[in-house]
A and B are shown apart, each in its own frame.
Chain A
Amino acid sequence: MALAPARSVVRLRFAGDRGDYWRLVIRGNALQAITLGIYRFWLFTDMRRFLWASTEIDGETLEYTGTAVELLLGFLMAIGILIPVYALFFLASLEFGFVSRLSGIVAIVVLAGFGQYAAYRARRYRLTRTVFRGLRFHQTGSPVLYAVRAMLWWIPTLVTLGLAYPWMVANLERYKMRNTFYGNVSGTFAGAGWRLLVRGLLIWVLIVGPLAAGIAGAMSTIDWSAVGRALDLGSAEGALDALRSNERIGLGLARLITGFSGSLFFGIILYPAYQAITMRWWLGGLRLGTTLATSDLSMGDYYDAYLRYLLYVFLFSIAFSIVAGAVLGFGYMASRGQADFSRMPLPHDVFAAGSAIVAYVIYILGCSTIYQVVVKMRLWQVAVEAMLISNLGALDHVQASEATSSAVGEGLADALGVGV
């Protein structure tokens, strides 16, 4: 085989077969149900192996070398870490009765910090299990510092109603990428926060706008002079009465609800757009040494994936109700005919409750299976195929660098339900 000719810009290729992935995910999810979730480590590993192996860069595919047993052990260790933490929360809420109201908030903040810590370690695990051309990726940097950084960034993001979000993402990505290595070549992230802001500003306006307008509209219906008079009398109760006695309270409430529904509507409708914009911006900011990525990701592909998902779930629901109805019908006929429930080991209410649970699990798991293929895999494929790499030749003679990592981070992320 001849060496590839001089490459200027290389487009990534997705080499996976969708049918294979359907088979893998359906079988994996069925086994998950049978094993009450224990099989997920094997399913996730297979999904990653498939997706990595399907990602082809100039004729060379990525390789995922992680194993399910590592994930299982990581999960068990994470449980070992989390149990004392939960126990501590419980004892603290008893010991300091007056902060027991606060302990909920404290728990959320601490667990969110744990989640960030876990996400960073999980990323390191996945990178060290990613092989390209015989070399591993790896990640340096401190997961604790990363978690602190991520948590602190939430303050300006919340204060600015999300306007600071692009800078938060850019800053965290810079931290992650400058600690990312392929062999001895380190990465950088070139995406600028303001660029993401400009591209996403319309979405922000459409989501925050209606809610803000609703709140402002509701405020304008309040008779402030009456509230002022009541406050002058020095009674908060009086102020509340003044608010309550206002006949336009209904109008104010209607405006508030309209604003909120508008925000919700745009939030749902624009979610794929937000995902596509962020993904395109992120892909375009990735650098590894002097090798750089650009992306011509199309928003339409994202909408296509989600619409297809809705269609498939609709069809699946129809098929499911037909099958479930038939089973129910046969069950009913059997109960009127030959089958004598009083002679069955389980009374028939128990039987009914049991089959309802089984049906529910099958339906929900079915929808989740469709989602994993029609949305998750499709979006991976779309992102891969939209990625262009310049100066790939700079990665032709990279030296290896030693690094491995444990799967505790993945386990923590799994136990905490942090999406990975």
Chain B
Amino acid sequence: MTTNGTGIFYDGRTSDRQEVTVEVGDDAVRVSALSGPVLAQWRFAEIAPVAIPAGGLRIGLAHATAAARLEIHNPTLAAALIGRLKPTDRTGLTDRRTRIKVVAFSLVAIATLVASAIWGVPLLSDRIVPHLPVALERRLGAAVDMEVRRALDTSTDGKSFECGIGDAQSAVAARAAFTKLIAHLEEVAGLSLPLRAVVVRRIDANAITLPGGHIYVFDGLLTRADSVDELAVVLGHEIGHVAHRDGTKAVLETAGLSLLFGMLLGDFTGGGAVIVAARTVLRTAYSRAAEAAADEFGANLMYKVGSDPHALGAILLRISGNPGATTSFHFLLDHPQAQERADAIARIARPSPMRALLTPAEWDALKNICAGG
């Protein structure tokens, strides 16, 4: 059965508009010039409709480089032809089936990318970082160090940011005590790069580690430490970060997360909030794992030097103030909670032969390292 009618044909070689006769046959549509010769014969299976405002039908060949087009404005002929084509959306827009497929594939892709973010990124950084040259990590450390110093050094009273510099007798004694403590811990820890630890004038009870072996001990921590063991155990934790090269890992992990959330996912208006939330949750999760590992390293180091690993629990609980307080934003904490950490340490701590790391006089000098100018 064939249906005949007229249409307008562009052959794809010139922009000439040709009036043609159109025959809809059994398996193809045949286009002929009014004068007779056949211009084109398109099989139904190869035909794709093209977007066109309502009221007409425009078709072309699906995979042709030339853009030959047939337009039919006669509704009966158009209907006959549509009936023969494979089911398609004649608006030429993305049809329902494609939409569902795209959404389904996207959800699979998102699940894969989220899984890569949760497990793949930390796994990769754990594998890559040990092979990075120490020299690269030290350069990274130098760059970060400059920024961190600028950010932390808020003192305006003219006192130096670093404590215990200068030739005053107290400063020399304090420096000697600190150096002795660090050197002992460093030797026992067996690190691949030298430590550069300093005490700095900050009132927060904290200590931070940067890539390249930089450790900053804040004065606020020193004043709240009751014994040299409490300071040593925090240092042990920070040395754990150095040994695990956590600073460099964090750089790699942040880059990986930015690639997954930011470049591949989330590029739409309003997507920024989703991205920030996802990155924050994941980065703090990586960080909690690294902190737990550093606690373990610190506890083992304390055991080796003959100090008390439980001191970490004591100082953490004193600093955090309220050990019972919990928050449902637990997943946003970058450190495990103080009580959890103390419990974890208690589980791995073994009885160790106690030895004093510093003499009482040395400990006194060190505690007052920031008292001078």
Question: Separation in Å of the B149 CB from the closest CB of chain A?
Answer: 14
Question: Given A53-B51, A415-B263, are A404 and B65 neighbors across the interface (CB < 8 Å)?
Answer: yes
Counting chain A residues whose Cβ lies within 8 A of the other chain, the interface size class is 35 or more
What's the count of A-B pairs with C-beta under 8 Å? 175
Q: Is A117 an interface residue (CB 8 A)?
A: no
Q: Is the CB of A397 within 8 A of B143?
A: no
Question: Separation in Å of the B21 CB from the closest CB of chain A?
Answer: 13
B:257-299 near A, CB below 8 Å: 259, 263-271, 273-274, 277
A31, A52, A350: the one within 8 Å of B99 (CB): A31
Q: Is the CB of A42 within 8 A of B269?
A: no
Q: Is the CB of B139 within 8 A of A61?
A: no
A:109-135 near B, CB below 8 Å: 131-135
* Partner-binding segment picked from A62-70, A202-210, A321-329: A62-70
Residues 48-84 of B, flagged 1 when their CB comes within 8 A of A and 0 if not, give 0011111000100000011111000100000000000
Q: Is A97 an interface residue (CB 8 A)?
A: yes
List residues of chain A with CB within 8 A of the CB of B69.
Answer: 63, 131, 133-134
Residues 8-19 of B, flagged 1 when their CB comes within 8 A of A and 0 if not, give 101111111101
Question: Given A38-B102, A133-B17, A368-B270, are A15 and B109 neighbors across the interface (CB < 8 Å)?
Answer: no
Q: Is the CB of B102 within 8 A of A360?
A: no
Q: Dominant SS at the A interface? A: helix
Residues 1-33 of A, flagged 1 when their CB comes within 8 A of B and 0 if not, give 101000000000001110000001000010111
Question: Separation in Å of the A28 CB from the closest CB of chain B?
Answer: 9
Closest residue of chain B to A33 (Cβ to Cβ) is: B268
List residues of chain B with CB within 8 A of the CB of A199.
Answer: none
Q: Is B136 an interface residue (CB 8 A)?
A: yes
* Partner-binding segment picked from B90-98, B181-189, B235-243: B90-98
Question: Separation in Å of the B247 CB from the closest CB of chain A?
Answer: 13
List residues of chain B with CB within 8 A of the CB of A365.
Answer: 268-270
List residues of chain A with CB within 8 A of the CB of B329.
Answer: 349-350, 353
Q: Is the CB of B94 within 8 A of A134?
A: no
A:393-408 near B, CB below 8 Å: 395-400, 402, 404
Q: Is the CB of A63 within 8 A of B14?
A: no
Closest residue of chain B to A359 (Cβ to Cβ) is: B273
* Partner-binding segment picked from A43-51, A150-158, A268-276: A43-51
B6, B12, B98, B274: the one within 8 Å of A42 (CB): B98
Question: Given A63-B50, A357-B274, are A135 and B12 neighbors across the interface (CB < 8 Å)?
Answer: yes
A1, A3, A37: the one within 8 Å of B267 (CB): A37
Bound form: Cα–Cα A29–B269 in Å = 9
Q: Is B129 an interface residue (CB 8 A)?
A: no
Bound form: Cα–Cα A3–B8 in Å = 11
Q: Is the CB of A40 within 8 A of B268?
A: yes
Q: Is the CB of B271 within 8 A of A361?
A: yes
Q: Is the CB of B271 within 8 A of A36?
A: yes
Closest residue of chain A to B73 (Cβ to Cβ) is: A1
List residues of chain B with CB within 8 A of the CB of A132.
Answer: 15
Q: Is the CB of A50 within 8 A of B106?
A: no
Q: Is A234 an interface residue (CB 8 A)?
A: no
B8, B92, B328: the one within 8 Å of A350 (CB): B328
Q: Is the CB of A400 within 8 A of B142?
A: no
List 5 additional contacts besides A31-B102, A53-B53; criterion CB under 8 Å. Answer: A60-B17, A82-B263, A132-B15, A364-B270, A400-B13
Q: List 13 A-B contacts (CB under 8 A).
A: A29-B269, A35-B110, A37-B268, A39-B102, A83-B259, A94-B136, A132-B15, A133-B15, A135-B14, A182-B15, A347-B328, A362-B270, A404-B65
B interface list, Cβ under 8 A from A? 6, 8, 10-17, 19, 50-54, 58, 65-69, 73, 92-94, 98-99, 102-103, 106-107, 109-110, 136, 139-140, 142-143, 255, 259, 263-271, 273-274, 277, 327-329, 331
